[in-house]
Structure 1
Amino acid sequence: MQAMVDKDKCIGCGLCPTICTQVFGMGEDGKAEVMCEGLGEEVQDSAQEARDGCPVDAISIEA
């Protein structure tokens, strides 16, 4: 699985790295970014929680 952040939609609220620090971080542009290649089983649930909590639906997770 791979997480992606749509930088055009992201408002930089910081929720995703708060929920899933192993996958998401905040870039120098103040917007979220994915910090790893692929999602291991141990982080899939929290990454999906971050996706579901994103107020602007900027996060997608694909197989």
Structure 2
Amino acid sequence: MKLYVDQDLCISCGLCIDACPSVFSWNDEGKSVAIDGEVPADAENEAREALENCPTEAIKEA
């Protein structure tokens, strides 16, 4: 699974970072970004939880 964060939709709430800090982090503009590449197998459940709970649906599968 690969994920990305639509920067136009991200509202910097941090829910994804709280749910899955091994995949999501802050960029220089204060918005969330996903790691480049495949989500590690041991983080897939948390990453999917972040995707499903994003209030603006900014997290997408690549």
TM-score, structure 2 as length reference: 0.91
Report the counterpart of residue 7 of structure 1 in structure 2.
7
TM-score, structure 1 as length reference: 0.89
Report the counterpart of residue 57 of structure 1 in structure 2.
57
CA contact (8 A) 1:12 1:31 kept: yes
30-39 or 51-60, larger mean C-alpha shift:
30-39
Letter in 1 for 2:28: E
The number of residues matched between the two structures is 62
Q: Which runs of 5+ in 1 are unaligned?
A: none
1:1-59 deviation line (CA, Å, top 9, x unaligned): 10110000000111101000000001110110013421121111100000111000000
Task: State the secondary structure of the residue aligned to 1:46.
Answer: helix
Superposition CA RMSD, Å: 1.1
Q: Which runs of 5+ in 2 are unaligned?
A: none
